[in-house]
Amino acid sequence: MLQIKNLVVNYGAIQAVKDVSLNINTGEIVALIGANGAGKTTIVKTISGLLKPTSGSILYEQKNLQQKKAPEIVAAGIAQVPEGRHIFAGLSVAENLQMGAFLRRNRKSITDSLQEVYQRFPILKQRQNQDAATLSGGEQQMLAMARALMSQPKLLLLDEPSMGLAPIFIQEIFDIVQAIQKQGTTVLLIEQNARQALAIANRAYVLAAGHVTISGTGQELLANPAVQKAYLGG
């Protein structure tokens, strides 16, 4: 579904991503783990069209993404849930969800998607008329994920979905990620909670200082002594 080849991304004179290559197959959960500053978010933003690569290629369903703008990339079936959630304060939960369907035109289909989201996230239905800014951190993360799902993505990019959440919400978020995959959405999961990310990932990549240093199945990386030492407290 997604093929990144020899990707280089610069911030001015700083090379944040250095010759990264990775693949995501249809139906997978692929985890990308690494320390702060490793380049994980830069890769996600580049896939989404928010950053332009210095060199390399990003192919989505065999089509080059480099020349596409962010709205075109969303329309093609890629949605990002950004680090920090970035829900729209001052808008209700329902209005935030409707913003996720901004590029869609079929009103009945949008209404159907809204009901599906409310079935998956019952707390959002209860809070649908509430200002999104008044939700708890875990509820805001659910809203950010639900808002992305309203665009009907084929590929969902999740950037640190468990960050700053209470343990009860963290487990719920990972359960939701697995449920999203089972219903047919492919997931790229960026996570510092490496143990739980690898536990649900089909495959995974370790990113360090802008480079992919280790790759394999989620279970292979969980058992890898270098990964255990660096990211799992082993």
pLDDT (tens digit per residue) in 146-187:
999 998 999 999 999 988 888 888 888 899 899 999 999 999
pLDDT at 37: 85
Cβ(17)–Cβ(210) below 8 Å: yes
Cβ(117)–Cβ(153) below 8 Å: no
Residue identified by tokens 């990386």 is 221
Least confident of 44-53, 165-174, 212-221: 165-174
pLDDT at 109: 79
- Locate all alpha helices (DSSP H) within the chain, ordered by sequence: 40-47, 70-76, 93-100, 107-120, 122-126, 137-149, 167-182, 194-200, 218-223, 225-231
Cβ(9)–Cβ(49) below 8 Å: no
Q: Report how far residue 73's alpha carbon sits from residue 31's, in angstroms, rounded to the nearest whole number.
A: 21
Report the pLDDT averaged over residues 93-99: 93
pLDDT band at 145; cut points 50, 70, 90 = very high
Give the DSSP H/E element, type plus range, for residue 121.
Answer: none
Q: Report how far residue 147's alpha carbon sits from residue 100's, in angstroms, rounded to the nearest whole number.
A: 5
| 214 pLDDT above the threshold of 90 | yes
Report the pLDDT averaged over residues 221-232: 92
Q: Report how far residue 170's alpha carbon sits from residue 10's, in angstroms, rounded to the nearest whole number.
A: 32
> Tell me, what DSSP letter sits at residue 234?
-
**Phi then psi dihedrals of residue 125, to 5 deg:** -65, -40
pLDDT at 234: 59
The share of the chain scoring above pLDDT 70, in percent, equals 100
Domains of the chain (ranges plus CATH)?
A: 2-231 (3.40.50.300)
pLDDT at 13: 86
Q: Report how far residue 122's alpha carbon sits from residue 140's, in angstroms, rounded to the nearest whole number.
A: 13
pLDDT band at 85; cut points 50, 70, 90 = confident
Cβ(5)–Cβ(22) below 8 Å: no
